[in-house]
A and B are shown apart, each in its own frame.
Chain A
Amino acid sequence: MKPLIEKLTSTFSPSGYEDAIRDVIRKEIKEFADEIRVDALGNLIARKGKGGTRVMVAAHMDEIGLMATHVDEKGFVRFTGIGGVYPRNLPGGRVRFVNGRRGVIGLDGGVFSNDLPPLDKMFIDVGASSKSDCPIKTGDVAAFERPFLDLGDRLVAKSMDDRIGCAVAIESLRALKSTSNEVYFVFTTQEEVGTRGAQTSAYGVDPDLGFSIDVTSWGDTPGQRDFDVALGKGPAIKIRDGGMLSDPRIVEWMIGAAEKNKIPYQREVLLGGTTDARAMQLVRGGIPVGCVSIPCRYVHSPSEMVDYNDVQNAVELITTLLRAPVKLSLAGK
């Protein structure tokens, strides 16, 4: 599975510009899905099985990035963020535009200062010397460039958020030889700018229930507090986050499957942030949802770290969940 993770994290597709990653994923899944389609917002929707409970599984394809706002007279590219881009993760970093051009991020006034300027006091140097020889135009988009790093159990890359979720979804689809349910694996667009693709794809799929696969924060490095999720202790079953309360029946279903099959898991109570499940929950007449999270250190930096065992256990948990007929108990509702 490591080559797949490397391939997915080496693809450049910021929010709204998911063409490249969609092509990669489509190739990976086309022999395993019963039907594949792309909707108006670019979501890639793959169906497996027919006739049972309709389950939507969402992993977002997009990644955070940058968008050019202006090229100045000397050829420096001013930019704004796409999604949650933090100034401290940028200086000295390298980026790659969707048109292939690379560049490095510089600061107004140079680097010999401890002050951290806002994004509008930074620029991308693509090696141009004037506006006319700069290959970048206002509106062009870029993503971070950073090589994939295999540290054994731990894997580091840009865009683990949420290509690791895409990898888990792809592997789960492949492992799911048959299912009694009608499962829709949806590789969504524009999650980082407001779970937008999930909203329209959930409307189109109209599932009975669903969950997202996404990264979550971590609590196991110096200075991190009050978050009981660590790398290597299993996928995290979300109970709540900043935008969604998981349906208790979904949480029960997931924990039951993990315990019965002795798959390690963690209980996740996240205060900030949210995932595609939030948008799914609120479409049409409302949908019961939850989320399987992959613990991930240094989220929204160019070097996001996950544990390979958590990833494999997430695949096992999800295939276990999807194989047998899904029936939510109405007890307690």
Chain B
Amino acid sequence: MANKTPAVGAAQFKLLEKLCNAVGVSGGESEVRKIVLDEIKSSVDEVKVDALGNVLATQKGRGAKRLRVMLDAHMDEVGFMLVADDSEGLYRFKIIGGIDPRNLVGKQVVVGKENRPGVIGAKPIHHTTPDERKKVLAEDSLRVDLGPESKIKVGERGTFAPNFQRFGPSLMSKSLDNRLGVATLIELLKVSYPNIDLCAAFTVQEEIGLRGAKVAAQYFKPDLAIVIDATPANDLPMQYEAENVFYNTKLGLGPAIYVSNSSTFDDPRLIRFIQNAAQNAKIPHQIRQPGGGGTDAGGIQRVGVGVPVVSVSVPHRYTHSAMSLSRIEDWKNTLVLLHTALRQVTPSLLKR
């Protein structure tokens, strides 16, 4: 393993495409897990899959005094589960994780272990009244249409159909949240950090309550944790030239460093540390606006005697929908920032 700076090139785009096009709805992450295990096996000292399905890998350092640094990226994505068979290939479903029902209508989906294609449809404009068109179609009134020969069973999971694309400065796909994070963590593992014991957790079930991360943190008992995720950019301009003051993050401004959300107050020492690393190396970065939402950091922070945490996310628009969009530069800068920061971790980082 050479001590090189990780880059984003053809190989990384190919890996990201593979990860994004894999299906891994919370609780059914095996397709993503297989890719992760295959990608990291040659660059870690130990790896195991735990009882919940987390991939837990360790890369030991060599220095005398080294911190155990947990890096976390969740593998799962939002989707749905079939809950009733209405016959003729039509199924009722329940959303897994957070999806706005307005994002479901007219979308191509894949369902079951073999990713069978289907569609979530609605009455066309020809047959609706103006009043009907004002109403949001709720989850309960929608059906997944898989066709009469689907042989899919109630209890199977599905999500938006794979659709990864790269165009100009942008990446577009379903599940950029959080395959961008997974790809980032895989790339970091391909570099070595002798100053720390790197504890990599590719976690399950984040979208339904940070569940895998809690177990992963109990296994690693780390000195600190950095969570790599993807966060919404709500950065479209306002109407009438008013200033958009609730953008969460903006595309193109670099990795988003968290200070607080509904699940965590990030550790001020770690916030400063990441910020300083970015400033000193002139890596673009932004502070994610404090507010709602959560990352695995909330699951990790309060395990055992407690773990100082911070989250760093790649901004992307239209998250938890069929197609979200991010900038290649932001992903690249996220990878470089984390790499730069990891090389600078010393025990004095946690001094009060």
Provide the residues of chain A in CB contact with B219, threshold 8 Å.
Answer: none
Q: Bits for A191-209, please: 1 = Cβ < 8 Å to B, else 0.
A: 0010011011101100000
Which B residues, 254 to 307, have Cβ-Cβ distances below 8 Å to chain A?
A: 259-260, 265-266, 268, 271, 287, 289-291, 301-302, 304-307
Query: Given the complex of chains A and B, what is the CA–CA distance between A70 and B259 in angstroms?
Result: 13
Provide the residues of chain A in CB contact with B304, threshold 8 Å.
Answer: 200, 203-204
Nearest B residue (CB) for A137: B287
Contact A199/B265 with A38-B352, A138-B290, A139-B287 known, Cβ cut-off 8 Å: no
Residue from A40, A137, A196 having most chain B Cβ neighbours under 10 A: A40
Q: How many residues of B contact A (CB 8 A)?
A: 23
Query: Given the complex of chains A and B, what is the CA–CA distance between A232 and B345 in angstroms?
Result: 53
Contact A203/B305 with A16-B260, A72-B243, A80-B290 known, Cβ cut-off 8 Å: yes
Provide the residues of chain A in CB contact with B307, threshold 8 Å.
Answer: 40
Q: Bits for A18-62, please: 1 = Cβ < 8 Å to B, else 0.
A: 010000000000000000001111110000000000000000000
Query: Given the complex of chains A and B, what is the CA–CA distance between A211 and B147 in angstroms?
Result: 61
- A39 touches which of B266, B287, B291, B306 (Cβ 8 Å): B306
Query: Given the complex of chains A and B, what is the CA–CA distance between A55 and B352 in angstroms?
Result: 26
Provide the residues of chain A in CB contact with B289, threshold 8 Å.
Answer: 69-70, 138
Decide yes or no whether A96 CB sits under 8 A from chain B.
no
B245 touches A200 (CB 8 A): no
Decide yes or no whether A298 CB sits under 8 A from chain B.
no
A194 CB to nearest B CB, Å: 9
Decide yes or no whether B162 CB sits under 8 A from chain A.
no
Provide the residues of chain B in CB contact with A230, threshold 8 Å.
Answer: none
Decide yes or no whether A153 CB sits under 8 A from chain B.
no
Decide yes or no whether A266 CB sits under 8 A from chain B.
no
Decide yes or no whether A11 CB sits under 8 A from chain B.
no
A13 CB to nearest B CB, Å: 11
B265 touches A15 (CB 8 A): yes
Contact A73/B306 with A67-B260, A80-B291 known, Cβ cut-off 8 Å: no
Decide yes or no whether B308 CB sits under 8 A from chain A.
yes
B305 touches A40 (CB 8 A): yes
Nearest B residue (CB) for A43: B306
Contact A139/B271 with A41-B301, A69-B290 known, Cβ cut-off 8 Å: yes
Q: Bits for B232-252, please: 1 = Cβ < 8 Å to A, else 0.
A: 000000000001011100000
B352 touches A200 (CB 8 A): no
Nearest A residue (CB) for B257: A139
B327 CB to nearest A CB, Å: 20
B154 CB to nearest A CB, Å: 35
Query: Given the complex of chains A and B, what is the CA–CA distance between A69 and B261 in angstroms?
Result: 11
Query: Given the complex of chains A and B, what is the CA–CA distance between A16 and B259 in angstroms?
Result: 10
Query: Given the complex of chains A and B, what is the CA–CA distance between A19 and B269 in angstroms?
Result: 11
Provide the residues of chain A in CB contact with B287, threshold 8 Å.
Answer: 137-139
Q: Bits for B315-352, please: 1 = Cβ < 8 Å to A, else 0.
A: 00000000000000000000000000000000000001
Decide yes or no whether A253 CB sits under 8 A from chain B.
no
Decide yes or no whether A78 CB sits under 8 A from chain B.
yes
- A200 touches which of B260, B268, B291, B305 (Cβ 8 Å): B305
Provide the residues of chain B in CB contact with A203, threshold 8 Å.
Answer: 304-306
B245 touches A72 (CB 8 A): yes
Decide yes or no whether A148 CB sits under 8 A from chain B.
no
A199 CB to nearest B CB, Å: 5
A139 touches B259 (CB 8 A): yes
Query: Given the complex of chains A and B, what is the CA–CA distance between A120 and B304 in angstroms?
Result: 36
Provide the residues of chain B in CB contact with A38, threshold 8 Å.
Answer: 352
Provide the residues of chain B in CB contact with A70, threshold 8 Å.
Answer: 245-247, 289
Query: Given the complex of chains A and B, what is the CA–CA distance between A68 and B126 in angstroms?
Result: 49
Query: Given the complex of chains A and B, what is the CA–CA distance between A92 and B347 in angstroms?
Result: 44
Decide yes or no whether A190 CB sits under 8 A from chain B.
yes
A199 touches B302 (CB 8 A): yes
Provide the residues of chain A in CB contact with B305, threshold 8 Å.
Answer: 39-40, 200-201, 203-204
B291 touches A69 (CB 8 A): yes
Query: Given the complex of chains A and B, what is the CA–CA distance between A82 and B265 in angstroms?
Result: 10
Provide the residues of chain B in CB contact with A138, threshold 8 Å.
Answer: 259, 287, 289-290
Provide the residues of chain B in CB contact with A42, threshold 8 Å.
Answer: 352
Which A residues, 133 to 158, have Cβ-Cβ distances below 8 Å to chain B?
A: 137-139
Query: Given the complex of chains A and B, what is the CA–CA distance between A196 and B308 in angstroms?
Result: 12
- A41 touches which of B246, B259, B271, B306 (Cβ 8 Å): B306
Contact A200/B306 with A15-B265, A138-B289, A193-B265 known, Cβ cut-off 8 Å: yes
A56 CB to nearest B CB, Å: 14
A205 CB to nearest B CB, Å: 9
Provide the residues of chain A in CB contact with B306, threshold 8 Å.
Answer: 39-41, 43, 197, 199-201, 203-204
- B301 touches which of A15, A19, A196 (Cβ 8 Å): A196
Contact A139/B290 with A16-B268, A204-B305 known, Cβ cut-off 8 Å: yes
- A73 touches which of B243, B247, B266, B308 (Cβ 8 Å): B243
Instruction: Return 15 A-B CB contacts under 8 Å, by A number.
Output: A16-B260, A39-B305, A40-B223, A68-B290, A69-B245, A69-B289, A70-B245, A70-B289, A72-B245, A120-B246, A138-B259, A138-B289, A139-B260, A200-B302, A203-B304
Residues of A that sit less than 8 Å from B by CB? 15-17, 19, 38-43, 67-70, 72-73, 78, 80, 82, 120, 137-139, 190, 193, 196-197, 199-201, 203-204
Q: A73-B243, A139-B260 are known contacts; what are 11 more A-B pairs with Cβ within 8 Å?
A: A16-B266, A17-B268, A19-B268, A69-B246, A69-B289, A137-B287, A139-B271, A193-B265, A200-B304, A201-B305, A201-B306
Nearest 5 pairs of A and B residues by beta carbon: A200-B306, A16-B265, A139-B259, A41-B306, A40-B306
